Amino acid sequence: MNFSLTEEQELIQQAARDFAQNDLFPEVIERDEAQRFPKEEVRKMGELGFLGMMVDPKYGGSGLDTLSYVLVMEELSKVDASSSVIVSVNNSLVCWGLETYGTEEQKEKYLTRLSTGEIIGAFCLSEPEAGSDATSQKTTAIDKGDHYVINGTKNWITNGSSAEVYLVIAQTDKDKKHKGINALIVEKGAEGFEIGPKENKLGIRGSDTHSLIFNDVKVPKKNRIGDDGFGFKFAMKTLAGGRIGIAAQALGIAAGAYELALKYSKERKAFGTEISNHQAIAFKLADMHTQIEAARHLVYKAAWDKDNGNDYDLSGAMAKLYASQVAMETTVEAVQIHGGNGFVKDYHVERLMRDAKITQIYEGTSEIQKIVISRSILKR
């Protein structure tokens, strides 16, 4: 067992830390309030290689391992989870899916631009009536010979209006249930493809979340990912890796809130001494630190599993379940340690608390993670 990072991993971690402090931090509160997408920041993250981290350099990626990606997600999320979710979706759900299952032509056409951040992508599975119950797809992709025709609505799509490329999961043959589902690449601007209004969210307000409407959208057959009927497996396999990215995001949110609470507790005085000298606060910090370290081990282990060719459905689900719970509990405690100031936007912890909640919901709710975990340990 080796718990140390390589020199390269440490350098990448430092690069992400510097970028988060210098570029994400200054306007993070304004972006949250105005629900402003971090356009310039995303461009810079593309230049740094953060948008196609695990993609082979021959397709424009950084060719790094999953652990490096997790380290970057953690550092970005300490400061700005709205920016890190853009990184997570582009890396785990779009680039990974295309690189692993796409055709050479699809990789040349789309992946090369997605991995450099020239464009970003979106992953479109959820629907008004199919969130956790992902096999109940109502969106249809009817086979018309050389093309499909898509009709339906997708909900809560991250990068909804900023993406140029959308991976859309839709039902081709209802009788075949999940085996009749396909994953199709749809380009922005396709006739009949409409972007719905932006959602007004509790957290990660800088990221743009939209519904998408498809009215007789024609997609050439060469834009299908994998064989006919592979779409549901594609979604499940892609989400299994995505969960490691969201677990890293949750870990970063928790660590960011803890670091702020630790600093504040050494500065703020009450009853004649710094509040960190009061056991009530010191014990909170001890719990937070222990839980974050436990979450970090689960998240890094899941990344290690993926990098070493092990199954990561179980370790990724456990990492997401636990890290998101720690993110929620830690951020609530960070607000408590800040007292009245914790309730004020300038101190950042209230935003981290709002941002933490989504990590228990997207890319599989905590309840879905428990289904994945329990089925895995019970093997049914």
Residues noted as catalytic:
363
Residue from 36, 221, 233, 289 touching ligand COS (CB under 6 A): that is 233
Residue from 19, 59, 69, 232 touching ligand COS (CB under 6 A): that is 232
Residue from 5, 190, 236, 262 touching ligand COS (CB under 6 A): that is 236
> Which of 103-111, 141-149, 198-206, 234-242 is the region at the interface with ligand COS (rule: CB under 6 A)?
234-242
Amino acid at 33: E
- Packed helices 313-338 and 279-307: angle between N→C axes, nearest 10 degrees: 160
Binding mask 301-340 for ligand COS (x = CB under 6 A): ------------x---------------------------
- Toward ligand COS, which CB reaches closer, 48 or 236? 236
Least Å distance, CB 92 to ligand COS, is: 11
For 112, the enclosing helix (H) or strand (E) is helix 112-116
- Toward ligand COS, which CB reaches closer, 135 or 215? 135
> b/e for 30-63, b at 16 or more Cβ within 10 A?
ebbeebebbeebbeebbebbbbbbbbeeebbbbb
**How many of the chain's residues bind ligand COS (CB under 6 A)?**
20
Q: Is residue 135 at the binding interface for ligand COS, with CB under 6 A as the rule?
A: yes
Q: How far apart are CA 148 and CA 137, in angstroms?
A: 16
Pairing of strands 140-143, 147-158: antiparallel
> Which of 6-14, 21-29, 40-48, 229-237 is the region at the interface with ligand COS (rule: CB under 6 A)?
229-237
DSSP code at position 130 = B
Q: Is residue 377 at the binding interface for ligand COS, with CB under 6 A as the rule?
A: no
Q: Is residue 94 at the binding interface for ligand COS, with CB under 6 A as the rule?
A: no
Q: Is residue 170 at the binding interface for ligand COS, with CB under 6 A as the rule?
A: no
- Toward ligand COS, which CB reaches closer, 38 or 231? 231
Query: Phi, psi at residue 207, to the nearest 5°?
Result: -85, 150
Q: How far apart are CA 219 and CA 53, in angstroms?
A: 28
Binding mask 334-373 for ligand COS (x = CB under 6 A): ----------------------------xxx---x--xx-
Q: How far apart are CA 152 and CA 292, in angstroms?
A: 41
| Bridge partners for 220 per DSSP | 147
Q: How far is CA 110 from the centre of its chain?
A: 20
Pairing of strands 165-171, 121-124: parallel
Least Å distance, CB 156 to ligand COS, is: 7
- Toward ligand COS, which CB reaches closer, 219 or 368? 368
| Exposed / middle / buried, residue 158 (Cβ in 10 Å: 0-12, 13-18, 19+) | buried
- Toward ligand COS, which CB reaches closer, 144 or 176? 176
Least Å distance, CB 298 to ligand COS, is: 18
Q: Identify whether the C-beta of residue 357 lies closer than 8 Å to the C-beta of residue 321.
A: no
Q: What spatial distance separates the first Cα and last Cα of the chain, rounded to whole Å? A: 31
Least Å distance, CB 368 to ligand COS, is: 4
Least Å distance, CB 36 to ligand COS, is: 22
Residue written as token pair 């929620």: 328
The interface with ligand COS within residues 273-302 (CB under 6 A) comprises: none
Binding mask 184-223 for ligand COS (x = CB under 6 A): ----------------------------------------
Q: How far apart are CA 84 and CA 246, in angstroms?
A: 9
Q: For CA atoms 363, 352, 62, 223, give the dihedral sign.
A: positive
- Toward ligand COS, which CB reaches closer, 60 or 242? 242
CB atoms within 10 A of CB 272: 6
Binding site for ligand COS (CB under 6 A): 125-126, 131-132, 134-135, 178, 232-233, 236-237, 239-240, 313, 362-364, 368, 371-372
